[in-house]
Structure 1
Amino acid sequence: MKASLRLQDTAIRYFLEVAQIGSISEASVRLNVAPSAISRQISSLEDILGAVLFERQPRGMKLSAAGEMLAAYARKNALESARVVAEIDALNGIEKGHINIACSEGFAMDFIPRTLSNFRQQHPGIHFNLKVCAPAEVATLISRGDADIGITLSLSPTKDIKVEYRQPSPIMAVFHPTHPLAHKKTVSLSQLQPYPIALPEENTTVRQLFDICCSRLNLLFEPILESNHMASLSRFTAFGGGIHLSGEISMRHQIATEELIAVPIRDRGMDVRNIEIQTLSGRTLPNIIKVFLAYLIVKMKHEETIGF
């Protein structure tokens, strides 16, 4: 019998749980199944496939090359099953569904909540789950099948990720309206140096590009505030505490109300990142996700054309 015909749903489910968590004991708690039962199912899969799926390590389980291939197959298969169920519902005239979105923090501050609210006015039966994470983690959630659509800032291509839409997102200097530099057409990093500055942590594209450019220009900044919370940096600037750096889309409402002023930074390298709307490569999306994806891209394009 072909191995593909003998893969059991239960075994695959246990396998994916261990693959995600990296531990049989933790997977047993999540699944409410004895660790020995999980081990037997994984061993059965390995016998069927004739390959080792995990590297057993002192601190957990790491997928082997064969395990990575099976995990990718299993995740896509699970997503395809969910799509078929959604399409059957659509045949019965039921417009309902659940869309999982992953995005980096800047998009969660204004753009995504506003887009979801507007979309649900036309499609009230659609429910959303929004997970906010570091930019690099967005692609990971999509590849694992934990997110249908990702919106993030990217510096380079990612394996297994299809970029549905891309647009430039240069880093801006953000000022209180009374700041001496607030009404310049552009500023340089050297012009910012005399003033108090607040910066995000190192796992953000803003901080990574800022540090690279400062190193190249031999500039040294001592931030008066560092935070993993972009909204706090924004509020700090709004209260007159200092400058911070951001993409303009993150500051949409505050810029429109003139609470804050965003000015382009003209130094080379501060404009090399892109906004990406991402999905899983090779996946056939359910119709309702296609509809929302198209709506999302239109909103993003529209805001690009009006200068945001």
Structure 2
Amino acid sequence: MAAVYGAPFLSAFGSSMRIHSSALQYFDAVRRAGSIREAARRLNVASSAVNRQILKLEAEIGTPLFDRNPSGVTLTSAGEILAHHVIVVLQDLDRTSAEIEALKGARVGHVAIAAVESVCPALLPSVLGNLRERAPRITVNAKMMGSALIPEALESGLADVGIAFNLPRYPDLRQVYVASFKLGAIMAPDHLLAKREEVSFASCSDHPLVFAASDLSIHQLLAPVMRQANRSVEPIMRTNSIELMHQLALKKPVIAFQTPIGLEKLIAAGDLVHVPLVGPVWSDLGVYVRAGRSLPAPVDLFLQILTGELQERERFEHDRH
């Protein structure tokens, strides 16, 4: 299994049967790459061949599909309409290919994941290890991004599965599962507040704090808690890096805020503690797919394993509270 963290996604048709027009496949590659030259490089074909297919497709449709500019290409309104159709067609091709392989007794396919950074240390590796044991010929590509960017990755076909915190309702997404985890203060085990069962934000504000940047869901979750505490607090740092928050929280007396997801190894090693905040401050970690899509067997298997892992962690979290 090839699990590539942070690498570009593979083309949706890279491992599928090629039973559709090359023009549609080349169109999708250009849409993803944002340029004909880069699409040709990824496809390992000549740029002229890609351009020829795009021009042929535009002639058949009778309108430009891309606006050409010095930095690359962008979809026209007609291109946006065609893109929606092509995403559906090529994703359905993946499902068909996987079903045919299943008839041969093989579990073969590919799963593209868009996920928040905090699932990387423990949750995602555990899921991928389980997947590899059950279906070693399924390949995986994972890209880390903020929760706010994940809906677009799913809607555009860049990802099959999204794992994100506190997403609002999107009509084009289906929530497969959601697990709730308590937001808490994270700190060194010898911190003055580390032995408490719960801690208030007001108590934390007496110490140097690290805040999540506004593009992380933690920021929105913590905002009402800060307003209720009625204290004006200036953090020593704001960052969108979960790993940097971890490293800063290791240094007493600094405090950061997060759910236990992503802290499993640090907590088990005794390097950090997670003290829940007072009150019903829960964060929802959801699993999403594009609405209306018939899922290929490899994606469905991945979802089964992922939801099982989340259910186990959620039970442990609720038992604590």
For the superposition of Structure 1 and Structure 2, which TM-score range results when normalised by the shorter chain? 0.7 to 0.9
Question: Contact conserved, 2:148 with 2:167, CA < 8 A, in 1?
Answer: no
Q: Assess if the C-alpha contact under 8 Å between 1:109 and 1:231 holds in 2.
A: no
1:31, CA displacement in angstroms? 5.0
TM-score (norm 1): 0.83
Q: 1:199 aligns with which of 208, 211, 223?
A: 211
Q: Which moved more, 1:96-105 or 1:15-24?
A: 15-24
> Which residue among 292, 305, 308 is the counterpart of 2:315?
305
Classify the secondary structure of the residue corresponding to 1:195: coil
Matched with 2:143 is 131
Could you give the per-residue CA deviations for residues 20-50 of structure 1, whole angstroms, max 9, x where no partner exists? 3434455455556676765554454344335
1:75 aligns with 2:78: no
**Partner amino acid for 1:290?**
D
Could you tell me which residue of structure 1 aligns to residue 293 of structure 2? 283
Paired with 1:21 and 1:219, the residues of 2 have a C-alpha distance of: 47
The CA distance in 2 between the partners of 1:266 and 1:152, in whole Å, is 24
Is the 1:153–1:275 Cα contact (8 Å) retained in structure 2?
yes
Tell me, yes or no, if structure 1 residue 150 matches structure 2 residue 156.
no
Cα distance in 2, alignment partners of residues 13 and 267 from structure 1: 51
- Count of matched residue pairs: 300
Letter in 2 for 1:302: E
Q: Counterpart of 1:16?
A: 28
Q: 1 CA distance for matches of 2:105 and 2:29? A: 34
CA distance in 2 between counterparts of 1:12 and 1:244 reads 48
Q: What is the identity, as a one-letter code, of the residue corresponding to 1:291?
A: L
Segments of 5+ residues of structure 2 without an aligned counterpart are: 1-19
Name the CA distance, whole Å, in 1 between partners of 2:45 and 2:97: 27
Structure 1 residue identity aligned to 2:276: P
Partner Cα distance (1:290, 1:243) in 2 = 39
The separation in 1 between residues aligned to 2:41 and 2:106, in whole angstroms, is 36
Measured on the aligned residues, the alpha-carbon RMSD in Å equals 2.9
Identity across aligned pairs (percent)? 31
Please give the alpha-carbon distance, in whole angstroms, between the structure 2 residues aligned to 1:215 and 1:246.
Answer: 18
2:11 maps to what in 1? none
Distance 1:261 1:287, change over 3 A: same
**2:22 is aligned with what amino acid?**
T
Counterpart of 2:257 in structure 1: which amino acid?
L
**SS, match of residue 169 in structure 1:** strand
Counterpart of 2:108 in structure 1 is: 96
| TM-score normalised by length of structure 2 | 0.80
Measured in 2, the distance between the counterparts of 1:119 and 1:27 equals 31
Q: What letter is aligned with 2:298? A: I
- Hey, what's the Cα distance between the residues in 2 that align with 1:208 and 1:127? 35
Larger mean CA deviation between 190-199 and 12-21 belongs to: 12-21
**Bigger Cα displacement from structure 2, 239-248 vs 55-64:** 55-64
SS of residue in 1 equivalent to 2:306? helix
- Name the aligned partner's letter for residue 75 of structure 1: I
State how far apart, in whole Å, the 2-side matches of 1:219 and 1:61 are.
49
CA distance in 2, matches of 1:148, 1:96: 15
Q: Quote the offset at 1:195 in angstroms.
A: 0.4
Give 3-state SS (helix, strand or coil) of 2:189's partner: coil
Give per-residue Cα distances to partners, 1:114-168, cap 9 Å, x unaligned. 2211332333333322211222222222222222212111331234221111122
- Gap runs ≥5 in structure 1: 1-7
Contact 1:168 1:274 (8 Å CA) reproduced: yes
Residue identity in the other structure for 1:161: L
Determine which of 234, 237, 249 is the counterpart of 1:237.
249
